[in-house]
């Protein structure tokens, strides 16, 4: 999708250059003039670093619903005035870059409120532009480095009308998800690949997550956490046996042995890998179970809750994956960074499970289950657009295609 978008934008370069030099009668110039007074604070002190744009208000909150409604009014005005210019993705833009593309970038950032309009539309990429780019990246879930690369170009060049449609679609989701919220709950926002532990209307902690692949999406969940499994076994789902385990064994006959995965038939008798025909679906008839340990696919702990899809949340031995920009790598379950602190929060009111005891479970390797004294409500939601109460608007990629953005673009003739 990015490559196709780049091709479209390259064709649009002459129009972008014209927009850069447009007169005050141009709709974009009108927006720039209006934003001169509306977004004139906060950037003098932010020339070298992106401002903090996430407060302690949860994504699922009545306050966020009101903020999203205000954002829709703001983006409706932007669309009515002509939207924003596209930034030609001809090369990376960073501090020191100059040219018409930077001027288009400055226009784009001013209109969306990321750059103070008083700084003007010049062809220089300075420290103020870098801070504005970092702010833009942070509110789009892009690694913050102040450099315009492929991901940032793609986000910049989503038309304002599409963003407005995205906000409207997600406002409906937010209204439905925020009805009768409990005082204490955990939320997983799938497209943001992020977890929030919420108590009394405030975020107690946020955690980076890894969620389902595009072809193995994480489902919407409304459940309650009732059990914590320390140092668990992992029983391999049939879907993973078929899609992953059999192909791995065809390539490497020692795969099961290397990862300490045992095979059991329907009578519970352990089989050896050599007893299975790996060039067929025979393996799907058996149970595959991985021993506990640091190598275990669920890491040191699993969070259990009733789920028709059989999904859960867990630790992972592959913690470097949390550093990736694209964190849609699981088979539907959710892996959580900093899961130990989340477990402590979940078990806070459970007798005999104080923080020191929990820490010890991550060291001793004992296979133990803890029943949660007060089951914690859990929501897995799909929210790709929302706004903070301070007016900062957030967007994430519609990774599973549930927003209908491509259909909207086709119906309206809007280029994506």
CATH for 217: 2.40.440.10
Number of domains in the chain: 2
Task: Note whether 368 and 406 are same-domain residues.
Answer: no
Largest pairwise CA distance in the chain? 80
Whether residue 264 sits in one domain with residue 246: yes
Q: Which of 350, 332, 22 is nearest to 190 (CA)?
A: 332
Residue 137, domain CATH: 1.10.101.10
Q: Say if CB 170 and CB 386 are below 8 A apart.
A: yes
Q: How far apart are CA 333 and CA 11, in angstroms?
A: 41
Q: How far apart are CA 337 and CA 195, in angstroms?
A: 9
Question: Residues 336, 377: one domain?
Answer: yes
Q: Are residues 370 and 223 in the same domain?
A: yes
| 275, part of any domain | yes
Within this chain, do residues 264 and 240 fall inside the same structural domain, yes or no?
Answer: yes
- Given this model, what pLDDT does residue 113 score? 95
- 177 is a domain residue: no
261 within domain boundaries: yes
176 located within any domain = no
| Same domain assignment for residues 211 and 357 | yes
Same domain, 239 and 94: no
pTM, full prediction: 0.82
Residues 52, 39, single domain; the answer is: yes
Instruction: Give the position of tokens 């990376």.
Output: 92
Across 200-279, the runs of DSSP E, i.e. the strands, are 202-212, 221-230, 234-235, 261-264, 270-271
Non-local CB neighbours of 104 within 8 Å, separated by 6+ positions: 16, 17, 19, 20, 85, 86, 87, 88
Q: Give the chain's residues under pLDDT 70.
A: 1-53, 408-416
Same domain flag for 126 and 197: no
Q: What is the dihedral of CA 360, 363, 368, 374, to 10 degrees?
A: 50
The verdict on residue 178 lying in a domain is no
Alpha-carbon gap, residue 194 to 214, rounded angstroms: 16
Positions marked catalytic: 314, 333
Residue 112 lies in a domain: yes
Same domain for 148 and 30? Answer: yes
Asked if residue 356 and residue 301 are part of one domain, the reply reads: yes
* Assigned domain for 263 exists: yes
Residue 291, domain member (yes or no): yes
Q: Could you list the residue range(s) of the whole structural domain that residue 7 is in?
A: 2-170+384-412
Q: Are residues 300 and 355 in the same domain?
A: yes
């Amino acid at each position: 999708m990015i490559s196709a978008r780049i091709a479209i934008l390259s064709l649009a370069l002459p129009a972008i250059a014209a927009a850069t030099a447009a007169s005050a009668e141009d709709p974009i110039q009108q927006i720039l003039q209006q934003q001169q007074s509306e977004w004139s604070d906060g950037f003098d002190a932010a020339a070298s670093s992106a401002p903090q744009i996430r407060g302690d208000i949860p994504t699922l909150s009545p306050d966020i619903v009101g903020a999203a409604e205000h954002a829709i009014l703001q983006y409706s005005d932007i669309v009515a005035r002509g939207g924003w210019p596209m930034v030609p993705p001809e090369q990376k833009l960073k501090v020191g870059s100059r040219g018409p593309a930077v001027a288009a970038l400055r226009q784009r950032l001013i209109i969306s409120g990321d750059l103070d309009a008083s700084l003007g539309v010049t062809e220089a990429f300075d420290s103020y532009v870098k801070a504005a780019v970092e702010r833009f990246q942070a509110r789009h879930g892009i690694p913050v480095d102040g450099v315009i690369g492929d991901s940032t170009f793609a986000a910049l060049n989503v038309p304002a009308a599409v963003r407005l449609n995205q906000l409207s679609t997600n406002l409906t989701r937010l209204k439905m998800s925020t009805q009768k919220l409990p005082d204490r709950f955990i939320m997983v926002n799938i497209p943001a690949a992020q977890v929030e532990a919420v108590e009394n209307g405030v975020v107690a902690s946020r955690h980076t997550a890894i969620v389902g692949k595009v072809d193995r999406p994480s489902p919407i969940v409304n459940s309650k956490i009732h059990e914590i499994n320390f140092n668990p076994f992992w029983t391999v789902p049939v879907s993973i046996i078929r899609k992953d385990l059999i192909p791995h064994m065809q390539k490497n006959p020692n795969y099961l042995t290397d990862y300490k995965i045992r095979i059991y038939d329907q009578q519970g008798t352990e089989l050896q890998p050599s007893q299975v025909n790996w060039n067929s679906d025979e393996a799907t008839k058996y149970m595959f179970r991985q021993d506990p340990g640091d190598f275990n696919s669920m890491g040191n702990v699993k969070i259990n809750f009733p789920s028709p899809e059989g999904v859960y949340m867990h630790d992972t031995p592959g913690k470097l994956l949390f550093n990736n920009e694209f964190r849609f790598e699981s088979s539907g379950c959710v892996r959580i960074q900093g899961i130990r602190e989340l477990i402590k929060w979940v078990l806070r009111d459970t007798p005999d499970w104080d923080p020191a005891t929990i820490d010890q479970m991550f060291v001793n390797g004992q296979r133990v289950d803890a029943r949660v004294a007060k089951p914690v409500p859990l929501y897995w939601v799909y929210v790709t657009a929302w706004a903070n109460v301070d007016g900062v608007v957030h967007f994430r990629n519609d990774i599973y295609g549930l927003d209908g953005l491509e259909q909207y673009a086709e119906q309206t003739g809007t280029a994506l």
